[in-house]
Structures are given as C-alpha cells and as structure tokens.
C-alpha cells in the first residue's frame, strides 16, 4: 500500500491518508470502529455491460439476484470467491461477500476495524480485486450508477460506532446526537462522498434524495439507518448510507469521526 509524500516530506495531493491519520490520532480513546460495505459491478471488457446481461438486451427485473444463487441469478461468483480467498490469505479483515440487487453487481464487507485500519483494509482489498478481475479479463467498475434507469446503484455504506455507543448505557442517545451533527453538515459530507453520487442518490432504489437528510430505524431509504437491535438494546452502531462505491475511505471514515467527535456546532 502506498502512502506517498513529496521529497520535502509533504503528502502528495491524492494522499488522503495523512490527514485521516491526524484525525484518528486525536480520538484513539473513543475506540472508533468502522465496517464498510463495498459494492461493485463486474463488466465484460469488450461490451462494457455487466456480467449476466445479454448483448443488445436486458436481464429480467431485479428481485431474484440479491444474495442469489444459481447460474441464472449469480454472475461472476468465481471472481468473487477468488477475491475473498485472496484477501483472507493476505490478512485483510474481510468479513463477508454477497450478490447485490442488480445482476452482475456484488459486495464485500470490511471490518469491523478500528480507526484508520478500516480504510487501509478497504484500499488493499480494492487493489486485490483489481488484480483478480484483470486475470479474469473482466473490468471492475466502482461507478455509483453504472447502468441508468430502473436499476440499483452501487454504494459503500459505512457503519460506525465508538466504545461508548457500543457498550455504555445511553449509547443510543450518543448515536442520535452524532446523527444530529451529521445532519447539520449534510452538504459537506455529500460533497466528499464520491464522484457521480447524484446519479445514485435519487430517493429511489433504496436511497435517500441527495439534498434531503433523513434517518430512521431499519429504513433502507434513509441517509442514516439505525438497526432494530441498536434501538432495542439502547446501544450499538449506525450506518451512513450516503457514500458512493467510488468514495475515498480515508476521507469518509475520518470525516464521520471528525463531525461526530471533534466538530463543534457554531
């Protein structure tokens, strides 16, 4: 993994890890944990269409593909399994894989991992996936809306908690306070959450409208989703559903941590 600097010792413009490390260094006592759900699409190299899509046509409507099995529902599993095994072999903290809503679309999960480690793990996992797809002669797309129309986009839902949110009585109240801060800085986060995200965040296909902040329990159409278990037990974590599949994990994780733990409302 590259952590690149100029000869003078300054981080190069694309090195977002440096600033993220500074933020996480300030909040180590909070023991932040992240889990990142990386969605992606596998494309045929020559046609630029997802695996499983007929040339000149479309597959059947969405529904049976999500977590699906079978040659008529799951397309590219040999690549997905090879990536999963390679990540395990490399020591990457990968915790799961599943077929996604659109045919030819998949997801892997990183974490839960502490602090900046989640972004490190995702960055390396993306690199390994690029190498696996290269060997298979298939193109990896992290575009948030690779196919326009009535098809789900691709995201990188980011789950977050601190030790107090996870373990202490009143953790749910801390979560709600964090969500309120995220609401106040909604526009700032959207601007940093990935290129082309406006094509995905339409208010349809399990997304919130890009300019409207919302949160709810078990609400897949909200900006922030809280699990039923978290609400029931009064502690746990929340899921930021706004980041796109091509987001920079150093930017997103450090921004969530900064807004919820370091930022003070003017």
Give residue 265's pLDDT: 85
User: How does pLDDT run across 55-82, given as a tens digit for each residue?
Assistant: 889 999 999 999 999 999 999 999 999 9
- Give DSSP secondary structure letters for 27-79: -GGG--EEEEEEEEEEEETTT--BTTPPTTS--SPSSS-TT--STTT---HHH
Does 2 score more than 90 pLDDT?
Answer: no
How far are the Cα atoms of 53, 102, 118 from residue 62, in angstroms, in the given order? 12, 6, 31
pLDDT value at residue 207: 97
Question: With contact defined as beta carbons under 8 Å apart, do 111 and 34 qualify?
Answer: yes
State the Cα–Cα distance between residues 63 and 207, nearest whole angstrom. Answer: 17
What pLDDT band is residue 94 in, cutting at 50, 70 and 90?
very high
Give tens-digit pLDDT for 17-48. 999 999 999 999 999 999 999 999 999 999 89
pLDDT of residue 93: 98
Does the reported pTM lie above 0.95? yes
What is the DSSP-derived secondary structure letter of residue 130? H
R_g over Cα of the chain: 19
Average pLDDT over residues 206-221: 97
Q: How far apart are CA 87 and CA 135, in angstroms?
A: 16
Question: What is Dmax (Cα atoms) for the chain?
Answer: 57
Residues 145-174: tens digit of each pLDDT: 999 999 999 999 999 999 999 999 999 999
């Amino acid at each position: 993994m590259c952590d690149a600097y100029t000869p003078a010792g300054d981080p190069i413009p694309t090195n977002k890890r440096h600033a993220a490390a500074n933020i996480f260094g300030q909040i180590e006592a909070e023991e932040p944990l992240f889990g990142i759900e990386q969605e992606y699409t596998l494309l045929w190299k020559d046609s630029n269409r997802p695996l499983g899509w007929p040339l000149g046509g479309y597959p059947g409507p969405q529904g049976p593909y999500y977590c699906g099995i079978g040659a008529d529902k799951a397309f590219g599993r040999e690549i997905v399994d090879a990536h999963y095994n390679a990540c395990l072999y490399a020591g990457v903290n990968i915790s799961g894989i599943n077929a996604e809503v659109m045919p030819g679309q998949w997801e892997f999960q990183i974490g839960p991992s502490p602090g900046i480690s989640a972004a490190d793990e995702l960055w390396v996992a993306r690199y390994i996936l690029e190498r696996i797809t290269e060997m298979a002669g298939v193109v990896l797309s992290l575009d948030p809306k690779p196919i326009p129309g009535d098809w789900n986009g691709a995201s990188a839902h980011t789950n977050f908690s601190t030790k107090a949110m996870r373990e202490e009585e009143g953790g749910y109240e801390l979560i709600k306070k964090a969500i309120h801060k995220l609401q106040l800085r909604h526009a700032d986060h959207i601007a940093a959450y990935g290129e082309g995200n406006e094509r995905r965040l339409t208010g349809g296909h399990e997304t919130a409208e890009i300019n409207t902040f919302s949160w709810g329990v078990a609400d897949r159409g909200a900006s922030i989703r809280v699990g039923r278990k978290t609400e029931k037990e009064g502690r746990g974590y929340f899921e930021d559903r706004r980041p796109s599949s091509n987001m920079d994990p150093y930017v997103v994780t450090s921004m969530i941590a900064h807004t919820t733990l370091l930022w003070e409302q003017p």
